[in-house]
Amino acid sequence: MLGFAIRNVNKRFDDRLTPYMGVLAAVIFAAQFVNFPVPPSSGHLVGTTLLAVLLGPWAAMVIMALVLFVQALYGDGGLLAFGLNFFNMGILGAIFGWGIAMVIFKGLARFQDEKISVLVATSISAFITTVATAFVLGLELLAIPGLSFDFVYIITGIHGLIAVGEAILTFVILLYFVKASPKMISFLKGSDTGKALRRSKKLEIEPTLEEGI
Amino acid sequence: MDRNTNLRILIPVIVLLFTIISVLILTGLASENPDGFEWSLFEWAGIAEPEGGFGGIFSFLGEGPLVDVVTGGIGIVAILVIAYLFFKFTSLRTE
């Protein structure tokens, strides 16, 4: 799946977008480094939905793989759990996040400004995706002998609260991009990443990025 | 995009992110509670944490806010460089 995502990114994104890929990876890593309190637990931004809306699901998967790999080197998540973490936060997060956000965005954009629509759609999607992936993780962990189904309720319930933080942080970071660099948001008309996502393999690259954005 | 433009984008981001996480960690605004996926949840469910797990490449530095700031800063630069180089060498070339 990661190889498929890398191939999709390689044939669509041109090298003028690479600084933004690096910047977004750094933003997501930094956001994951700092926990906000959700007593008695805590949470941090995952950011897959945000990345999927900005760059599309394939680039989101690749960036999440890189971020999770560095996190694993830091002992957060661990190297052996990398595959499970990537499946939940990278693959499911990107596909759910992008899909749900797209459906809500298309509905809202009919009677609302595009920029407001993308902010609302992404925040709602971030909330739903966080809860959904926590639920899926709970189900996966039922493979551990002796674990009761109550664990699924607990992990999903805690992430219901963490998802509120995820939605708020997603809204704030996306608001920055809406104000400062809307061409980076793939959902918006005329965006560079949106053009990259629609670009076919053989299509010639048109100069899209304005110098000095 | 030329080298200067890249630097103009990348350097302020590194500085801004480093500043934000430093302030949040050093002022104690970052939560110390175990996060939703950490082992405390498993212990609640009656599953003991396995011994001898990989502590991370910076585990020899110990724990503390200052260590978090330093390792966080290194991580931000590292992931930015890794992602930049990864996409630089694999994306489509333009003139």
CB B18 within 8 A of CB B73: yes
**pLDDT at residue B88 greater than cutoff 50:** yes
Query: How many angstroms away from the CA of B34 is the closest CA of chain A?
Result: 5
Contact B30 A36 (CB under 8 A): yes
Q: Is A145 helix (H, G, I), strand (E, B) or coil?
A: coil
User: DSSP of chain B, one letter per residue?
Assistant: --HHHHHHHHHHHHHHHHHHHHHHHHTT-S--SPBTTSHHHHHHTT-PPPSS----TTGGG--SHHHHHHHHHHHHHHHHHHHHHHHHHHSBP--
pTM: 0.85
ipTM of the complex: 0.81
- Chain A residue with CA closest to B24: the answer is A34
> Mutation test of the interface with chain A: which of B17, B32, B37, choosing the one with the most A Cβ atoms within 10 A?
B37
Which domains does chain A possess?
2-198 (1.10.1760.20)
Percentage with pLDDT > 90 across chain A:
36
- Domain span holding position B44: 3-90
Mean pLDDT of A67-89: 86
Query: Is the pLDDT assigned to residue A205 strictly greater than 60?
Result: no
Structurally, chain B folds into a number of domains equal to 1
Mutation target among A24, A29, A131 for the B interface, most CBs of B within 10 A:
A29
| pLDDT score for B16 | 85
Note whether residue B40 is domain-resident: yes
Nearest to B79 among A15, A35, A67 (CB): A67
Residue B95 forms part of a structural domain: no
Nearest CA-CA partner of A60 in A25, A85, A104, A35? A25
Residue B20 lies in a domain: yes
pLDDT band at A2 (very low <50, low <70, confident <90, very high): confident
Output the pLDDT for position B22: 87
Please check whether residue B46 touches A, CB under 8 A.
yes
Q: Is the pLDDT of residue A192 over 80?
A: no
